[in-house]
Amino acid sequence: MTIPRIGIGLPSFGPHSGPEAITLIAQAAERFGYHAISVNERLLLPVAPTTNLKDGLPESYVWDPLEVLTWAAAHTNRIRLTSGVVNSLFQPPIVLARRLATLDRLSRGRLEAGIGQGGGGAEDASWMIPEEFIAAGIPRTHRGAGFIEHVAAMRACWGPDPVEFTGTRYRIPRSTVGPKPWGDTIPLYFGAMVRSTIERAATVADGFITVGLDWTETPTRIAWYRDAGGPGPVILNTLQTYPGGEPATPTVFTDTICADLDRAQKAGADEMHLTLNLASVHPERQMELLGALADTLGLEAQRVAPS
C-alpha cells in the first residue's frame, strides 16, 4: 500500500483543549514523523439548529483555528500547518489575508490554508449552519461568486505593493499591504463536498479538501475534482469514532487507521488527516495511540528530536 501523507487534528475542542494539550500533540506529531497538523473551524454551536449537518456538530465550541496553529507553530520546527477549513467569508479578505500571511511568516512558510465558503453549494445547503452567517453579518448569497472574489482579493494582498482590488463585493484602495507570505504565495485548498464547489476548486484553488464520511461517495468526489482538471493535492479529513469514546487498545486504533489509509489511497487521496474525536480522552493517551500508529506505519525512521 502506498501510504498517503498523514495529518493529525489538534485538540482544539472538548474538556482537554488548551495550550498544554495542543503543544503536546503538535510536538508528538512532529516527533513521530507525521506530515502535518490541522485544525477545523466552527464559529458557533446553535442551541436550536435550523439544519442538520451531514457531518454533525462538534460536541463543544471550537477554538479559533489560526490562533491554535500559531501556538502550535511556535512549539514545532518542521511539521506542516493546515487549516482544514477556515470559513473565509466570515472575515474581510484583507483581514484574513494578513492573518494567514502573518502565520506563514512566523512558521517560515509551513502554512497550507484550507478555506471554504461556509457551506455547500446551491444544490445542497446541508453542510451549512445558517446561524453562522447571521452572527457574522454575511448574506448567504456571498457564497459562489462572492467566495471566488474573496479569494482573488486575498491573493491580491499577497502580491507586490501597491495592492489594489476592485470587485462587486470587495474593494481595496491602492495601498501597501503586509506582511507578504514567506514564499511567493500561500497554497489555498478549497473545502468542498458538492459537485459545483468541487469543480470550482479544480479551476481556482491549489488543492482540494473533502470529508470522508462515506467511503462509497469519497471516490466520486475526488473523481469530480480530477475530471474538472484539478491538478493539486487532495486532502481527505476523516473522523474516527469508537464505542465507549476511545479505541480499546492501540492495536484496534492502528488497524482502523490502516484500513482507512487503504481506502483513502484507493479513492485517490494524497493526504489523510485524522480527526480523532477523542475530545474526552486525555492527551497523553492520544499521544500513545499516535505513537503506536507511527510504529506500525514505519514513521519512526523520520522522527526528529523534541522541540
pLDDT of residue 267 exceeding 90: yes
Q: Are 146 and 89 in contact (CB under 8 A)?
A: yes
Task: Provide the pLDDT confidence category of residue 275 given band limits of 50, 70 and 90.
Answer: confident
DSSP 302: G
pLDDT of residue 256 exceeding 50: yes
**Span 277-300, pLDDT tens digits:** 555 678 899 999 999 999 999 996
Cell of 129: 449552519
- The Cβ of residue 306 has, within 10 Å, a number of other Cβ atoms equal to 11
Task: Provide the pLDDT confidence category of residue 301 given band limits of 50, 70 and 90.
Answer: very low
Cell of 102: 502573518
Buried/exposed 21-43: b ≥16 CB within 10 Å, e otherwise: bbbbbbbbbbbbbbbbbbbbbbb
pLDDT of residue 306 exceeding 70: no
DSSP 88: G
Highest mean pLDDT among 14-23, 54-63, 181-190, 283-292: 181-190
Cell of 282: 486525555
Q: How far apart are CA 271 and CA 66, in angstroms?
A: 21
Q: How far apart are CA 215 and CA 207, in angstroms?
A: 20
Q: How far apart are CA 33 and CA 78, in angstroms?
A: 10
Indicate the SS3 state at residue 79.
Answer: coil
Could you write out the DSSP letters of every residue in 101-120? Answer: HHHHHHTTS-EEEEEE-SS-
What confidence score (pLDDT) does residue 281 get? 77
What confidence score (pLDDT) does residue 15 get? 83
Q: How far apart are CA 73 and CA 53, in angstroms?
A: 31
Contacts of 97 (CB under 8 A, 6+ apart): 153, 154, 155, 157, 158, 177
Span 41-59, mean pLDDT?
74
Q: Which CATH number fits domain 5-302: 3.30.2010.30, 3.60.15.10, 3.20.20.60, 3.20.20.30?
A: 3.20.20.30
* Percentage of the chain lying above the pLDDT 90 cut: 71
The model's pTM is 0.93
Task: Provide the pLDDT confidence category of residue 248 given band limits of 50, 70 and 90.
Answer: confident
Q: How far apart are the first and last CA of the chain?
A: 31
Task: Provide the pLDDT confidence category of residue 136 given band limits of 50, 70 and 90.
Answer: very high
DSSP 13: B
Give me the residue spans of the domains in the chain.
5-302
- Bridge-based pairing of strands 207-211 and 36-39 is unpaired
Tell me which amino acid residue 9 is: G
Burial of 184: CB neighbours in 10 Å, binned 0-12, 13-18, 19+: exposed
pLDDT of residue 217 exceeding 70: yes
Q: Are 89 and 147 in contact (CB under 8 A)?
A: yes
Q: How far apart are CA 284 and CA 266, in angstroms?
A: 32
Could you write out the DSSP letters of every residue in 192-252? Answer: --SHHHHHHHHHHSSEEEEE-S-TTTHHHHHHHHHHTT--S-EEEEEE---GGGS-SSHHH
Tell me which amino acid residue 132 is: E
H helix runs in 137-205, sequence order: 145-157, 195-204
